[in-house]
Amino acid sequence: MSHIDLKVPKGSIFGLLGPNGAGKTTLIRIINQIIEADSGTILFKREPLKPSHIQHIGYLPEERGLYKKMKVGEQLLYFAQIKGLKAPEAKARVNHWLERLGIAEWKHKKIEDLSKGMAQKVQFVATVIHSPELLILDEPFSGFDPVNAEIIKNEILALRAAGTTVILSTHRMESVELLCDHIAMIHKSQKVIDGPVHEIRKNAKTNTFHVKILKNQQFSPDHWTDYREFEDYVSFTVPLNGSSPNEILRDLMTIGEVIGFEEIIPSIGDIFIQKVKDNDHA
């Protein structure tokens, strides 16, 4: 990493984005004290990161690490106690999470007997069993079907609502749009963008609107950009060019009945792709 300066707001979901090889996993491993940083400082609750902080961090790596021969309940109990929970509390939390995620009937099954998605649920429970203050998720939806992905998404949101700070590393841009409050994009070990999601999207606005008007005889397709005809309406794009949206809309209403008028704002995925391209050509 090269001169990366990030601040993760407490109680937020912070998206860490970047193409393969950008440096995301290296940063995550440094936070988890798996590897040491060559330079720089990481603060956890305003203190320099130290070994005792690991008890307050939950880490779900992209490459999962369950013991295949162990039974689900025994494995979760083991992980809970490693994180400092006493046996009675650990057992209570294991039962709570197995019930919550609908996998209680698998408590006495070995990991090797589970489907990939079921094993992923167990791994998620192992990550959050000790109620970490900081939760780091590396591609948490990998291996899940849409139904179980939705379940895990809702659990992540519930954890944030309870005060957990979440760092989410993912390539799924739809997850970023739905979950993240803040994002940072890293490319070639450099930070290329950082800030609240709503501000980043706002700053990427094109001042262009997508318009739909019911068909009539007044159209001159040559005057419109991205003009398309459908059965009952036509669509095209129109730039503001210094006018206000209300002024543009009033002009459009003189042409026909406007049934759609929506500002075109790039998605986080579009912004991500453009930033990588800009950085590659810089």
pLDDT digits (tens, 9 = 90+) for 14-40: 999 887 777 788 888 888 888 888 888
Q: How confident is the model at residue 186 (pLDDT cuts 50, 70, 90)?
A: confident
Lowest mean pLDDT among 125-129, 177-181, 202-206, 215-219: 215-219
What's residue 1's pLDDT?
A: 52
Q: How does pLDDT run across 101-115, given as a tens digit for each residue? A: 999 999 999 999 988
CA distance 208 to 58: 43
What's residue 74's pLDDT?
A: 94
What's residue 14's pLDDT?
A: 96
Q: Which residue has the higher pLDDT, 12 or 190?
A: 12
By the 10 Å C-beta count (0-12 exposed, 13-18 middle, 19+ buried), 121 is classed as: buried
What's residue 37's pLDDT?
A: 80
Strands 258-263 vs 208-214: parallel, antiparallel or unpaired: antiparallel
What's residue 282's pLDDT?
A: 57
CA distance 61 to 64: 6
Average pLDDT over residues 220-238: 87
* % residues pLDDT > 90 (the chain): 50
By the 10 Å C-beta count (0-12 exposed, 13-18 middle, 19+ buried), 2 is classed as: exposed
Q: Sign of dihedral through CA atoms 242, 244, 249, 255? A: negative
By the 10 Å C-beta count (0-12 exposed, 13-18 middle, 19+ buried), 107 is classed as: middle
What's residue 168's pLDDT?
A: 94
The pTM (predicted TM-score) of the whole model is 0.83
SS3 state at 199: helix
What's residue 2's pLDDT?
A: 60
To which H or E segment does residue 246 belong?
helix 245-253
